[in-house]
Chain A
Amino acid sequence: MSMALSSPLMADVGPSATARPLVVVSQLEKTFEIRPVLRQVSFALPAGETLALLGPNGAGKTTLLRVLATLVRPTAGEVWVAGLEATRDAHEIRRMIGYVGHQPGVYEDLTVRENLRFFARLYGLREGRALADELVERVGLRAKANERVRALSRGQTQRLALARGVMHDPTLLLLDEPDTGLDEEAGALLTALLRERAAAGKTTIFTTHQLARGLSLAGRALVLVGGRVVHDGLTQATSADQVRGLYRRETGRPV
């Protein structure tokens, strides 16, 4: 861990950072079979920050999130979450992260309540029944609580997915394009969730294609193009046009 503390990356962290960063990614590379997806990605994220991970399609955002979620092993480089190394201590890391990917990650043939109770058991949470009820209220799915997921709309399923992602109160929440296909109500829920977490000092990383909205909800922005980091800074000092310009400059085509 002393490697991370003396790494030049620490200099890149914004002025608000005081403690050791929650997430440290160092020279991360990921190659699928023969196709490199992430190249020399490095950044450090202090605890309590909300990070908007931006980039055009195919930039590697989803892969980066999946590496952080311990679903994918790096080909090279190191990833540290809360001082734990991702390949060695994956089990401990999983306790403290939540991940909502492209797929909602819930079982279509179980009901909303059954899904939540199932995951509560996997996380070793007590009082699964009560917790499920509480979550159902919080995401506004009470009316559909005993319906099978198959019968829910995309927006409703996404709300359930969010509930699943936060049920164990994760220190780090990873959201992959959580705003796609959301109805207005669910969109408001997402915004509220992000603000709540920021206020409580919890860390969140999300990807989005809605640049303006993403930049307004996050404190920091990391832009990936072609698997490389092309921008890493505070959202206050980053504009949507600037980001679009980066996409165009790097990929050579308009986005």
Chain B
Amino acid sequence: MHTVDRDLVSSRAPSARSRAPTTRGTLLGRYGELALAGATALVMLLAIGMAFFYAPTEAVQGNVQRIEYIHVPIAWTAFLAFFIVFVASALYLWRKDERWDWLARSGAEIGTIFTTLALITGSLWGRPVWGAWWAWDARMTTTLILWFIYVGYLLLRSYTGHSAAGARAAAVLGIVGFVDVPIDYLSVTWWRTLHPALQLPLGQQAQAPASVVVTLMVALAAFTLLFGYLLLLVYRLQRLQSEALRLRARAELDG
């Protein structure tokens, strides 16, 4: 007869062999994070300065065109965020490491905000150009669909809570949604060619003077850095939330 010695069993650290990741340290380390924050602030200030003072006033639209320096980088970042959601989702399904799920969730939350801003700035820009608050411009329409997919992702996560099944479901949505977006863009563009209506005057890069292009690049860099920094912060929030839940559960069990 053989009875397991309970003391021996419980003296081993319970989580030592578990696959749940340890929670030491942030993604970049404290100094890395400060550096990123600093760089973001600097480049953003530079971008704002250039947008208002360095870039020339556009001939046809006037100063309204300057909103392009916000709208384009924000839209770009929104799509970049979705790409990150896609990669993190795929990796989560493959590796089953919940850190990828944290990253996907963070990307989605920030991406939703940026997409909303992209829609708003696009609409604000479009009003004087189109004469209306909305025209079914191909890029804006695709951004609108992206917004719906994002919000759907967040809704799904809220309905499924912190369960692993919910995380897997959301990951599938992240993958499917990302693959869907280029097909959306294609179909909406084809749809629009028949009614070649109002478009946001984005295609001016070819004829644009160098100062416009440079300002745009700097603005892009600024918003990408901002996105990276926000991603870091929200990721840490997700990690802490998971930690807190785990600690509470353990306390309830052992207490």
A and B touch in the complex (CB under 8 A): yes
- CB–CB B18/A229 < 8 A: no
- CB–CB A230/B3 < 8 A: yes
Residues on A with C-beta less than 8 A from B19 are 75-76
- CB–CB A230/B6 < 8 A: yes
- CB–CB B2/A233 < 8 A: yes
Name the residue of chain A whose CB is nearest to the CB of B161.
Answer: A33
Q: Is B163 an interface residue (CB 8 A)?
A: yes
Name the residue of chain A whose CB is nearest to the CB of B249.
Answer: A34
Residues on B with C-beta less than 8 A from A39 are 9, 14
Knowing A231-B4, A232-B2, A233-B2, say if A34 contacts B246 (CB, 8 Å).
yes
Q: Is A31 an interface residue (CB 8 A)?
A: yes
- CB–CB A228/B246 < 8 A: no
Name the residue of chain B whose CB is nearest to the CB of A73.
Answer: B96
A172 to B10 alpha-carbon distance, docked (Å)? 31
Chain B contact-residue range equals 20 to 34
Beta-carbon contacts of A229-241 to B below 8 Å, as 1s and 0s? 1111110011000
Q: Is B208 an interface residue (CB 8 A)?
A: no
A39 to B4 alpha-carbon distance, docked (Å)? 13
- CB–CB A234/B1 < 8 A: yes
Residue numbers of B with Cβ under 8 A of A are: 1-4, 6, 9-10, 12, 14, 17-20, 162-164, 245-246, 248-249, 253
Q: Is A29 an interface residue (CB 8 A)?
A: yes
Residues on B with C-beta less than 8 A from A234 are 1
Q: How many residues of A contact B (CB 8 A)?
A: 23
Instruction: Please report whether the interface of chain B is mostly helix, strand, loop or mixed according to DSSP.
Output: loop
- CB–CB A36/B253 < 8 A: yes
- CB–CB A76/B18 < 8 A: yes
Residues on A with C-beta less than 8 A from B248 are 34
A249 to B1 alpha-carbon distance, docked (Å)? 18
Q: Is A40 an interface residue (CB 8 A)?
A: yes
Q: Is A253 an interface residue (CB 8 A)?
A: no
Complex A-B: 12 CB contacts under 8 Å: A29-B17, A34-B162, A36-B249, A40-B9, A75-B18, A76-B18, A228-B6, A228-B9, A231-B2, A231-B3, A232-B3, A250-B6
CB distance from A74 to the nearest CB of B (A): 9
- Knowing that A35-B253, A40-B9 touch, tell me 13 more A-B residue pairs with CB under 8 angstroms: A31-B18, A33-B249, A34-B249, A36-B253, A39-B9, A39-B14, A75-B20, A76-B18, A230-B3, A230-B4, A231-B3, A232-B3, A238-B1
